[in-house]
Amino acid sequence: MWAELAVTAAKLLLIAVGLLTAIPVMVWVERRGAAFIQDRLGPNRVGPLGLVQPIVDAVKLFFKEDITPAGVSRGLYFLAPMVAIFVALVTFIVIPFGAGTDVTVFGVPLSGVMVAPGLGVGVLYLLALGSLSVYGIVLAGWSSNNKYSLLGALRSSAQLISYELAMTVSVMGVILAAGSLRLDAVVAYQSQHLWNAIPQLVGFLVFVVAAFAETNRLPFDLPEAETELVAGYHVEYSSMKFAAFFMSEYVNMVTISALMVTLYLGGWTFPGHRALSGWPLLLLSVLSMLVKVSFVLFTFVWVRWSLPRFRYDQLMRLGWKVLLPLAVLNLVWVGVGVGYGWL
Amino acid sequence: MELIVFAATAALAIVSACVAVVHRQPVVNVLSLIVTFFCVAVNFALLGASFLAAAQILVYAGAILVLFLFVVMLLNAPVVEENEAKRPLQRWGGILLPLVLLAGGAAVLTPTLLATAATPTDGTAHALGRLLVGPHLFAFELVSVLLLAALVAAMVLVKRKQ
């Protein structure tokens, strides 16, 4: 009982620390990557290669004056950043980020280094809570009493409605092939068969595009769109409240990347993993997961500095008229494939 | 522990449902409805129906109410004024009708509920899926046809005249 509790707490701590550490690293990668892509230097003064820059930025945000503008709807104005960061931090618990079904710590099985191995609805939990993240943005935009904020919030909700459906339908293809809602079962399926990205390439592409829209990243960063909406939904926020939105965006990116790797890119599996067992397998599988997630995260940065922003109506048209039919097509193909035993 | 969580979420669900009806600010109405759905989802989870709980949040709180909120904010729905809210027939009807429905529902459902409470139910996605395409296939298909009809009706209504 106590050992079980301790192991779960340790896993939670590991995830929380890992996610929060990923934020400054990602900020650094983003700024240096942007500089590299635009052929300039980027932040390189604080620490070697500018590595300490994000930490200095974090300290700055901590000590900045927290301004609450007059005319905001106070309760909701305070609630919005909390919702954003809460949703971002709790969704990761169903993702198996390592092997280790045969590893026990103090007699407690680690079962895939997943925090909540008993949660049978797995990916549904992640999608359900992930869909709540829009409320952080919508509440912020509405309660700020600012037209730019409100426009950002409006765009965000429209974007969510357009993309959630395509994303869920493409995930359904994976669930259908694996025959389980649990993400560790999805990984187990992929270790027996091909990576899902290969037979379900269309579904994978739909998921990638929808993931960019879900995390409000360029080319779909319409809720922020600094060139037209100043900063969109968080224009009235300062200090740590702004930082909460900033952090939640990066944590959401990490979570969606991990989900993408788990669903389509084989999860923690790596060539030759069947020959290993116990701790070596566990450590190497976590490393493999980290490498894959890092690659997907770099792709987020890469795309951001390569593609221009979509216009609002283009975004809606792409979601409803292109991605959704493609996702349904993928689902039909997977259904036929499973029915005939090809997949 | 379960009892405490149940009591807290059930009370919160009722309170926020009341707020959803009586508050004058449309955005607050929608938000308190979200709280209600969230509490209902927690209660589903307590009953072991984890799939229903996730579906409740994914479909209602995550999608449908985002649409509600979108419409409320897009139309900039005005705050309901005091004199506008004074419609006696609507007010008393709105109080009486739910009570009648509640009494009727309680009278019909209580014997069944008491009979089935003892048997543990399997709330997993697998069990639910078996039920939907097994004993309840006809109703399931009927609902999907109804939804399709509603979809077509909505398309016809918004179609511009040439």
Query: Cβ separation of A121 and B66 shorter than 8 Å?
Result: no
Residue with token string 């109506």: A313
Residue of B nearest to A118 (CA): B50
Of B61, B67, B73, the CB nearest to A142: B73
Residue A310 Cα, gap to closest chain B Cα (Å): 20
Mutate to test the interface with A, among B25, B30, B51, B58 (most CBs of A within 10 A): B58
Taking a C-beta distance cutoff of 8 angstroms, is the pair B13, B39 a contact? yes
pLDDT digits (tens, 9 = 90+) for A87-112: 888 888 888 877 766 666 666 666 65
- The verdict on a CB contact (< 8 Å) between A154 and B66 is no
Please report the DSSP string for A53-79 in residue order.
Answer: HHHHHHHHHHHS-----TTS-HHHHHH
pLDDT in the model for residue B122: 63
Chain B segment 70-99 residues within 8 A of A by beta carbon are: 70, 73-74
Please determine, for the modelled complex, whether the ipTM score is greater than 0.85: no
User: Which residues in chain B have their CB less than 8 angstroms from residue A125's CB?
Assistant: 54
* β-pairing verdict for A104-105 and A108-109: antiparallel
Which residues from A are below 8 Å from B40, CB to CB? none
- Would an 8 Å CB–CB cutoff place B155 in contact with chain A? no
Give A235's contacts (C-beta < 8 A, 6+ positions apart): A144, A146, A148, A149, A152, A229
Confidence of residue A77 (pLDDT cuts 50, 70, 90): confident
Residues of A in Cβ contact (< 8 Å) with B62: 127-128, 131-132, 134, 164
Residue A109 forms beta bridges with which residues? A104
pLDDT per residue of chain B (162 residues) written in tens, 0 to 9? 778 888 898 899 989 988 888 887 888 888 888 889 989 888 888 877 778 888 888 888 888 888 888 788 777 666 666 655 567 787 788 788 988 998 888 888 777 766 665 455 666 777 778 888 888 888 889 999 999 999 999 888 888 766
Neighbour tally for A71: CB within 10 Å: 11
Angle at A131 between CA B23 and CA B145, to 5 degrees: 85
Question: Distances from the Cα of A319 to the Cαs of A62, A167, A220, A324, B66, in angstroms?
Answer: 38, 10, 11, 6, 17
Which residue from B54, B63, B73 is facing A153, i.e. has the nearest CB?
B73
Closest of A211, A164, A197, A206 to residue A327, by C-alpha: A206
CB contact under 8 A, A121 and B70: no
Q: Which of A45, A8, A6, A9 is nearest to A28 (CA)?
A: A45
Using the beta-carbon criterion (under 8 Å), do A128 and B57 form an inter-chain contact?
Answer: yes
Chain B residues touching residue A133 (CB < 8 angstroms):
none
Q: What domains are there in chain B, each with its CATH number? A: 2-77+121-158 (1.20.120.1200)
Task: Quick: pLDDT tens for A191-235.
Answer: 888 888 888 888 899 999 988 888 888 788 777 777 777 777 777
Tell me what pLDDT residue A103 has: 67
Q: Do B50 and A132 touch (CB under 8 A)?
A: no
Query: What pLDDT shows up at residue B142?
Result: 93
pLDDT in the model for residue A64: 85
pLDDT at res. B144: 92
- Nearest residue on chain B to A75, alpha-carbon basis: B28
Percent of chain A with pLDDT over 90: 4
Contact A150 B73 (CB under 8 A): yes
Q: Tell whether the model's pLDDT for residue A239 goes beyond 60.
A: yes
Pick A28 or B73 by higher pLDDT. A28
Is there a contact between B57 and A139 if contact means CB atoms under 8 Å apart? no
CB contact under 8 A, A157 and B73: yes
pLDDT of B145: 94
